[in-house]
Chains A and B, each alone.
Chain A
Amino acid sequence: MKAFNNILVLENDNEVPSYISTILGLISAPKDYWYNFIWSFYHNRDENMKRLGSIPEDTLLFAAPSFVGAENQFSGYLNLFLQLAESGKKLDIAVVYYDGFFMYLLKFLYKESNQLKNENNHRMLKEVLDFHNIYEVDFHNLDFDELEEKGLVSQCKRITYEALAEFYFDAHRKANTKIRIKDNGKVKDLIHVNYFCNRPEDIKLELGDKSADFFTSSEYELHEIERVK
């Protein structure tokens, strides 16, 4: 695994949350802090793009982002990191997100019903995940005792588009996604996906049953179904 000799903390506020400080306090690598991160691009984009472009390869970026507010939207970050990818600058980023960054990305991909925009969200996210190394820090299961010896990234999982695709279901175009229920072999249309959970294993699907001439739905968990190709 790649060794990181420096950590650059990206923080939109003027101070780092305490749970981030807790993690950083257990890592001896030199740390630098980029406060007011996303706002710095509104005030001086060129200078700060150069700053991002000159980050050494042995530096791990570490962030606990929030994606709320008009100027702090996830799509803005996606655009920023895609522009870096287009310029050839590869970054390693470890992300701590309270409800799970992997689940956040699935919800981001799912929520867009405009087909063109949905496809574009997939394209942009795939290009960012393929080019950069983005790791999810599972704060709730982090082994703090191992942080110094093994480093942070060794305990993280790199997020790939392929991993997300395993748990992504398109319910926007009705009757286009079909699901087979394993225990009885019945094939049903996918109506809705419930991504409001913390683990991909807890994702539930709402399926339609047209055989009775009226709409009925039931929820199935992922292990009970398979996609019909």
Chain B
Amino acid sequence: MLERHHVEAHFTENRAWAKLFKSRFPNWTPATWVEDAWSIFADNGYRYTFERYSENPDSKVYCAVKCVDLFGPITEDNDDGFVVGYGDSHDSVALQQMLISVICNFDVDFTKFK
């Protein structure tokens, strides 16, 4: 479960993210962090796709996410907008883990986010 000190560690790791997130959500809580963080990405033209190992809800591996791919605005250098993909997570935390990885690995430049 995401706790306050986890989120604060991301702030320590990525100051640009900290400034952006805190300006948008000064009274943030861990409980709503995932939807709050994703809303910033969505407002900046980002989307994600989700690929499961099996689309059959009765499958034992239905909850296993093969990869979560992040796409950003299409540019001259990037005609499909693909930014990065992260694999092998449980669907309950796939978006959360992708967001944390993108933030801590500096996969996007938050100084360019509005």
Asked if A45 contacts B12 (CB within 8 A), the reply is no
Query: What class of interface size applies to chain B in its complex with A?
Result: 10 to 19
The interface residues of chain A, by DSSP majority, are classed as helix
Given A120-B13, A120-B14: A83 and B8 within 8 A (CB)? yes
Q: What per-residue 1/0 map shows which CB atoms of B93-114 lie under 8 Å from chain A?
A: 0000000000001110100000
By a CB distance below 8 angstroms, the chain B residues around A124 are 12-13
Query: Contact at A116–B5, with CB atoms within 8 Å?
Result: no
Whole-angstrom CA separation of A180 from B8 in the bound complex: 44
Residues on A with beta carbons closer than 8 Å to the beta carbon of B106? 114, 116-117, 120
Tell me the smallest distance from the CB of B105 to a CB of chain A, in Å.
6
- In Å, the complex CA distance between A117 and B8 comes to 18
A79 within 8 Å of B by Cβ?
Answer: yes
Partner of A83, one of B9, B14, B105, B107: B9
B105 touches A117 (CB 8 A): yes
Q: What is the bound-complex CA distance between A75 and B101, given in angstroms?
A: 13
The smallest beta-carbon distance between A123 and chain B, in angstroms, is 8
Distance to closest chain B CB from A70 (angstroms): 13
- How far is A124 from B107 in the complex, measured between Cα atoms in Å? 17
- Chain B minimum-CB-distance residue to A85: B12
State which of A82, A86, A114, A123 has its C-beta within 8 Å of the C-beta of B105: A114
Residues of B within 8 A of A114 (CB): 105-107
8 contacts between A and B (CB under 8 A): A75-B13, A79-B12, A82-B12, A83-B8, A114-B105, A116-B109, A117-B105, A120-B14
4 new A-B contacts, CB < 8 A, other than A86-B12, A116-B106, are A79-B9, A117-B105, A120-B13, A120-B106
